[in-house]
Amino acid sequence: MKTKNRTLAFFDAKPYDRRSFDLANQDFGYEITYFDTKLNSATVELASGFDAACAFVNDTLDKHVVEYLAEHGTGIIALRCAGYNNVDFEAAFGKIHAVRVPAYSPYAVAEHATALILTLNRKIHKAYNRVREGNFAIHGLVGFDMHGKTAGVVGTGAIGRSLISILQGFGMKVLAYDPFPNQEYAAEKGFTYVDLPQLYKQSDIISLHCPLTPETKYMINETTISTLKDGVMLINTGRGGLIDTKALISGLKSGKIGAAGLDVYEEESDYFFEDRSTEMIADDVLARLLTFPNVLITSHQAFLTHDALKNIASTTLNNLKDYFEENRLTNEICYQCQSPCPKDKPVGEPCFKGPADHSKK
């Protein structure tokens, strides 16, 4: 068997990544090489010979990249994020492991979604600029009481559940949709599962917390937007591809959508996480979105708290420890379900249990 030197090629490394991983690595002692570049087919050669490749949300682990890694000595892809839509698991199956960080801080993301809601509702982004320029007028800043309004939460995993508690604290009525509803939990917490058309029809605020899959891609589109409440606020901290952005822009222009808070964008990889302040924006869709006073975009920063960074680093390095010590990989993604699989399966063995098992949280 090939000796593992415990080397890690770390892609799309930012200063805050280096700080948190260097600190956590004091307990592991892996040899980490940080690359500023994203991992994709043009850069994958950099990973040649490394035992592990560490990737983030905008790295592209398509068939070519996955096969290249497997053929050049890399045994594991360690995603330092929860989402895993950027990995071709079918290509990876039986050739290379893929692990993720399933829950590093659901609170960080849920609290950021709340920040987007509050800012858009009470127009804090506009008020901040006005007051700094000596404009103390408050016309145009009218919001609404969240108390008594209805929130629709799509996806009741770790983040969706955290947001539900927060919004209930504001006195909101919460409707939720999840293909694997946990009715017992809903009854205990006092929210109601409904089907998606009902959620779309009744919610004053809709927040998306499901993974991006072929099924959820463009779930917010021209047709579904036409069924939403007039003036609805749409929040997306999930993945950009959940929303057809051109349809969103039409909805904003017509007034159907009253406000949009976006921490993710379907074409974000060229812009998000980077400083492009000295360049023009070549993406006309993004540029148009930025012109709306009722659209608030943040650059995929919902996860970015000290607590989350610490957890991401320690879980990622623990995932690698399990791999190097040939333990069960508890955070491996099941290639067949395209989803986390709870089954204790040996390496390379398919999961026969099917997606229904994922209802067990």
224 touches ligand NAD by CB under 6 A: no
Q: How far is the CB of 23 from ligand NAD (least distance, A)?
A: 21
Least Cα distance to 274 among 37, 32, 10, 35 occurs for: 37
| The residue type at 210 | C
Closest to ligand NAD by CB, 74 or 245:
245
CA 288 to mean position of chain CA atoms = 23
The dihedrals phi and psi of 15, each to the nearest 5 degrees, come to -55, -40
For ligand NAD, which stretch binds (CB under 6 A), given 25-33, 163-171, 295-303, 310-318?
295-303
For ligand NAD, which stretch binds (CB under 6 A), given 23-31, 72-80, 143-151, 232-240?
232-240
**Region for 86 from its dihedrals, namely left if φ exceeds 0, alpha if ψ lies in -120 to 50, beta otherwise:** alpha
204 touches ligand NAD by CB under 6 A: no
Which residue's C-beta sits nearest to ligand NAD? 157
89 touches ligand NAD by CB under 6 A: no
Q: Which of 112, 266, 300, 332 is catalytic?
A: 300
**Residue the block writes with tokens 């023009």:** 280
Q: Which of 161, 239, 266, 332 is catalytic?
A: 239
Catalytic: 325? no
Among the listed residues 75, 152, 238, 241, the single contact to ligand NAD using CB under 6 A: 238
CB crowding 92-131: b at 16 or more within 10 Å, else e: bbeebbbbbbbbbbbbbbbbbbbbbbebbbebeebbeebe
Among the listed residues 215, 267, 307, 326, the single contact to ligand NAD using CB under 6 A: 215
Catalytic: 268? yes
CB crowding 284-319: b at 16 or more within 10 Å, else e: eebebbeebebbbbbbbebbbbeebbebbbbbbbbb
Token code pair at residue 212: 């991006």
179 touches ligand NAD by CB under 6 A: yes
Catalytic: 6? no
Active site residues: 239, 268, 300
Contact set with ligand NAD (CB under 6 A) = 82-83, 103, 106, 109, 154-160, 177-180, 209-212, 215-216, 237-239, 263-264, 300, 302-303
